[in-house]
């Protein structure tokens, strides 16, 4: 009997807690765009053009840095 007296208020508390969190998520717009998150992962954001390897090579004479001793 003591267990029932403990579990019923606990279940009611958890139920109201869930209801409060659900209503908060509705008001904050969590369910506004259900398809957008699934589509965003498919969009490729790489807008940089692929450059040739020769563009990144240093000029002649600059490929070896002088060492200080």
Q: What is the pLDDT of residues 2-17, one digit of tens each?
A: 999 999 999 999 999 9
**Can you give the pLDDT at residue 42?**
82
* 31 close to 25: Cβ distance less than 8 angstroms: yes
Of residues 38, 20, 36, the one with CA closest to residue 28: 20
pTM across the whole model: 0.49
In a domain, 43, yes or no: no
d(CA 28, CA 61): 60
* Distance, CA of 17 to CA of 27 (rounded, Å): 15
In a domain, 31, yes or no: no
Residue 65: band (very low, low, confident or very high) from pLDDT cuts 50, 70, 90 = low
What's the domain count of the chain? 1
Q: How far apart are CA 30 and CA 37, in angstroms?
A: 11
Q: What gap in Å lies between CA 50 and CA 47, rounded to an integer?
A: 9
**Residue range(s) defining the domain that contains residue 8:** 1-26
């Amino acid at each position: 009997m003591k267990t029932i007296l403990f579990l019923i208020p606990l279940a009611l508390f958890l139920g109201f807690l869930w209801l409060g969190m659900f209503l908060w998520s509705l008001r904050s717009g969590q369910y506004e765009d259900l398809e957008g998150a699934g589509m965003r992962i498919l969009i490729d954001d790489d807008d940089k053009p692929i450059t040739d390897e020769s563009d990144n090579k240093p000029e002649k004479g600059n490929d070896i840095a002088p060492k200080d001793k």
